[in-house]
Amino acid sequence: MQIDTDTFWLAAVVLLGALMAATMALAIAAARVRAAARRVHEQQTQHEGMSNRLLENEYRLRAIIESEPECMKLQAANGTVLEINPAGLALLEADSPGDVIGKPIYLFVAAESRDVYRDNVRRVFAGESVVYEFRLITLKGSSRWMETHATPLRDAHGAIYALLAITRDITDRRLVEERARRHQSELAHVARLSTMGEMATALAHELNQPLSAIAAFARGCTRRVRAGTTTLAELNEPLDAISEQAERAGAMIRHLREFVRKRELERVAIDINLVVRSVAQFAEIEARQHATRLRLELAGGLAPAHADPIMVEQVIGNLVRNAIDAMDEAHSPCREITVRTARADGAAIGVEVSDTGPGIMAGLVEQVFDPFFTTKPDGVGMGLSISRSIVESHGGRIGVRSRPGGGATFGFTLPVFSQEVTRDALAHGVRR
Ligand code: ADP
């Protein structure tokens, strides 16, 4: 019986122990479940917070894009418009987003701007941010000039999935630029006409030479033919000389006619040394009449410049004429003008015109390029101002160095001709 009691207590203790262990295990499991539930809840709240924040951000971004006064649009690589804001729709004179979204942008880009546009889209999808100008035809048929800043949009893995473009209407700016350009070419034309007046006197004198030579050769031929003392073969030489002199005179007149013709800026690849030589042909006549020596120091192996040759001639001609005037007025004992060409800093070609005149008075150096600044009794003060606008319209710079009493050196630069320059010129509607 004793054994039975012991067994009972033992069983009771074991049972109690097992019960306690089970209760503890349950409590631990319950605590774990509670902790897990808490974590899930926390994560859920966090997640909700995050998606709320994402939604908020998206609303904010949308509000910004919608209220943005400039046109903002997303575009695919093939030119399809993915999204566009109301300002963009207004720019395109569209009545609803459906008029534009899903359509290729090239429907609205003017034919002559399409290559530039396509090229820039390609650059954006290759990872570049670009700025370009193009002409747009709206849905109602108006023509407007646009400037676009475009940048690639990337997904979480860094792949470019769209182009984000901000576009603004620059038609008014273009019109002002166009008017200024026309005004400048008119001014330059007037200046060339007045230059022609001065050149005509010198040219009349110079044309005398070939014309007298032609007359003399022709008289010689007639004399010989009349006297019957010549063979036809013997007449070849004087007749060749006559044609040569007539061609020389013709070339001078042609050149002068081209110089005074009214024209737009026409930029091409030019050999600057040829242009300098062509000006020198005329300038030399005038220099000689003022007891001035004209020297050329032309660098070899220069790259071609991207410029309008007649306009560049006008600038060099102005600088040479000013040098002659300055030395004349100051009665300079030594009168020499040197026209130099050289490679300049950056992708540029430099031209310099130096003289041995009085130089420019200290304090006036800054003013000589101002319109209507002149120290000459019969000066107009437009020569240097026109020269500066011509050089700047080519993307070059003009300046002067002067030592009072030691002569003045005027120098300007022109960009080197390259495919890049040509593409820019096309993008900006510059005629070549
Ligand atoms: P203009 O020849 O009608 O005076 P420009 O604009 O060509 O007009 O020149 C403005 C002024 O710059 C001249 O009146 C003169 O005072 C000064 N200048 C220009 N070139 C020289 C030079 N080579 N040496 C000294 N002064 C010069």
Structure tokens at 341: 């060409």
Under 8 Å between Cβ of 57 and 44? no
Full residue range of the structural domain in which residue 408 is found: 265-432
Tokens of 300: 């070899």
Whether the Cβ atoms of residue 248 and residue 242 lie closer than 8 Å to each other: no
pLDDT at position 1 is 53
**Distance (Å, whole) CA 400 – CA 297:** 18
The predicted pLDDT at position 426 comes to 43
pLDDT for the residue 350: 97
Nearest CA to ligand 1 atom 26: 360
The predicted structure's pLDDT at residue 205 = 64
**Predicted local confidence at residue 428, as pLDDT:** 39
Residue 20 and residue 144 in one domain: no
Name the residue type at position 268: V
Is the domain of 342 the same as that of 287? Answer: yes
Give the model's pLDDT for residue 405. Answer: 76
Ligand 1, residue 407: give the atom nearest the CA.
24
**272 and 153, same structural domain?**
no
233 and 211 share a domain?
yes
Which tokens hold the place of 114? Answer: 């399409």
Which of 307, 407, 317, 324 minimizes the C-alpha distance to 360?
A: 407
| pLDDT < 70 regions, the chain | 1-3, 184-185, 194-206, 260-263, 419-432
Task: Report which protein residue has its CA nearest ligand 1's atom 11.
Answer: 374
The answer to whether residues 30 and 122 belong to one domain is no
User: Is 20 within a domain?
Assistant: yes
Sheet holding 71-75, edge to edge: 81-84, 71-75, 160-169, 143-154, 130-137
pLDDT in tens, 378-399: 887 888 988 888 898 889 999 9
Residues 364, 383: Cα–Cα separation, whole Å:
16
pLDDT for 370 equals 87
Q: Quickly count: other Cβ atoms within 10 Å of residue 69's Cβ.
A: 10
pLDDT at residue 425 in the model: 46
What is the tally of structural domains in the chain?
Answer: 4
Q: Which amino acid residue places its CA nearest to atom 20 of ligand 1?
A: 322
Q: E strands along 237-385, which residues?
A: 268-270, 293-298, 305-307, 336-344, 348-355
Burial of 292 (0-12, 13-18, 19+ CB in 10 A): buried
Question: pLDDT at position 262, please?
Answer: 63
Examine residue 196 and state whether it is found in any structural domain, yes or no: yes
Written as one string, the DSSP assignment of 117-174 is: HHHHHHHHHTT--EEEEEEEE-TT--EEEEEEEEEEEE-TTS-EEEEEEEEEE-HHHH
Q: Identify the domain boundary among 169, 199, 222.
A: 169
Residue 360 in domain:
yes
Does 368 contact ligand 1 (Cβ within 6 A)? yes
